């Protein structure tokens, strides 16, 4: 078992050494794979960051609750308290009709026209801020329905349409991400497969000799599989570095943009899980591409 492990380790290192001998070709191959993997990785970044950013904006999605007229100030306070007790509500602020009218008179410049009215036309208003964890469209909708059902509530204003639209856009992006990932993954396999094919052609003599002295198909294939493994790993690490560079370049302007919208949003890098997935899929694609190519082409090389 240890001999077997040692043999694999030797093959892996031998393959790495061989790749290092052809620096330019290896670098180019790894760069191409890296770019191909970086595209879906960057798309993933776009989607996750957009989700975080809209999460921030969702917090600004307040419900405005208008109470029936006439409702006593006492009743309005009770209703506000009931709403505030809810698990999905972070804060509920009551604006009494009189205060609202005062504020309106002061800010609007229609003071005289308002004075001409016999009674206050404004209702009591409650501004409800949903709890941060309940800010998706479905939860907001159910909160609004519940509040609307309260006896003294006249109307609830909630604009979920744009949240829905944004989520739909993100969903489309996510689909696109899967599609791009699939296509580019296939591309990585083709790149690796073609590189391995050329490699096999260059080492034809060696393969023949190895088969002549009794090397099995698996033995002959092994170094090529390790080549694919290294290509995939190198490509994935390159892709990861590309995302780092992209983030570093975009962080400052995006932060400024978010600042202009009054948001503290900051561009995030790939989390450990996504990074691990990137490296794993790179290795898997490299290995699979070389496996298919090596199995196909090595079979044709027989000593004569």
Partner 1 sequence: MIRFDHVFKRYPNGREALSDLSLEIAAGEIVFVTGHSGAGKSSLLKLISLIERPSRGQLIVNGQNVAGIGRRKVPAYRRQIGMVFQDHKLLYDRTTFDNVALPLVIAGVSTKEIGKRVRAALDQVGLLGREQSVPLELSTGEQQRVGIARAVVSKPAILIADEPTGNLDPDLSLEVMKIFRRFSEVGVTVLVASHDIYLLEHFPVRRVRLEGGRIVATSQSPAGEKLLDPRKLLDHGAQP
Q: Interface with partner 1 by CB under 8 A: which residues?
A: 3-4, 6-7, 205-206, 208-217, 219, 302-304
Q: CB of 290 within 8 A of CB of 196?
A: yes
Write down the least CB distance from residue 213 to partner 1, Å: 5
Q: CB of 63 within 8 A of CB of 130?
A: yes
- Rounded to whole angstroms, the Cα distance separating 185 from 180 reads 8
Residue placing its CB nearer to partner 1 in the complex, 133 or 201:
201
Q: CB of 104 within 8 A of CB of 114?
A: yes
Write down the least CB distance from residue 28 to partner 1, Å: 22
Per the listing, tokens 């506000």 go with: 80
Residue placing its CB nearer to partner 1 in the complex, 17 or 151:
17
Residue placing its CB nearer to partner 1 in the complex, 218 or 245:
218
Write down the least CB distance from residue 303 to partner 1, Å: 5
Write down the least CB distance from residue 281 to partner 1, Å: 32
Closest CA to 30 of 254, 300, 286, 280: 286
Pairing of strands 63-67, 125-130: antiparallel
Write down the least CB distance from residue 304 to partner 1, Å: 6
Write down the least CB distance from residue 16 to partner 1, Å: 15
Structure tokens at 275: 């990074």
Residue placing its CB nearer to partner 1 in the complex, 17 or 262:
17
Per the listing, tokens 């209702």 go with: 123
Residue placing its CB nearer to partner 1 in the complex, 209 or 280:
209
Among the residues of the chain, which ranges form H helices? 2-21, 23-58, 73-85, 97-108, 111-115, 137-148, 161-202, 204-212, 217-260, 272-300
Residue placing its CB nearer to partner 1 in the complex, 109 or 214:
214
- Rounded to whole angstroms, the Cα distance separating 39 from 45 reads 10
- Rounded to whole angstroms, the Cα distance separating 6 from 241 reads 31
């Amino acid at each position: 078992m240890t001999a077997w492990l040692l043999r694999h380790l030797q093959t892996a290192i031998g393959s790495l050494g061989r790749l290092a001998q052809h620096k330019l070709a290896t670098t180019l191959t790894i760069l191409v794979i890296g770019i191909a993997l970086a595209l879906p990785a960057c798309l993933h970044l776009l989607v996750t960051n957009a989700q975080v950013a809209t999460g921030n904006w969702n917090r600004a999605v307040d419900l405005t609750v208008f109470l029936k007229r006439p409702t006593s100030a006492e009743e309005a306070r009770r209703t506000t308290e009931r709403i505030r007790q809810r698990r999905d509500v972070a804060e509920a602020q009551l604006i009494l009709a009189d205060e609202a009218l005062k504020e309106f008179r002061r800010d609007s410049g229609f003071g005289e026209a308002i004075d001409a009215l016999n009674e206050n036309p404004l209702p009591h208003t409650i501004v409800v801020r949903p709890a941060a964890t309940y800010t998706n469209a479905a939860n907001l909708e159910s909160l609004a329905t519940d509040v609307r059902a309260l006896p003294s509530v006249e109307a609830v204003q909630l604009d979920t349409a744009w949240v829905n639209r944004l989520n739909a856009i993100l969903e489309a992006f996510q689909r696109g991400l899967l599609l791009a990932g699939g296509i580019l993954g296939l591309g990585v396999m083709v790149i690796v497969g073609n590189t391995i094919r050329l490699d096999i052609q260059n080492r034809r003599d060696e393969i023949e000799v190895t088969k002549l002295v009794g090397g099995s198909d698996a033995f002959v294939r092994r170094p090529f599989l390790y080549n694919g493994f290294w290509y995939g790993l190198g490509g994935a690490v390159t892709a990861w570095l590309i995302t780092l560079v992209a983030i570093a370049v975009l962080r400052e302007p995006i932060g400024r943009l978010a600042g202009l919208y009054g948001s503290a949003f900051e561009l995030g890098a790939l989390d450990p899980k996504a990074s691990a997935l990137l490296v794993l899929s790179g290795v898997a694609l490299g290995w699979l591409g070389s496996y298919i190519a090596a199995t196909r082409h090595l079979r044709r090389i027989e000593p004569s």
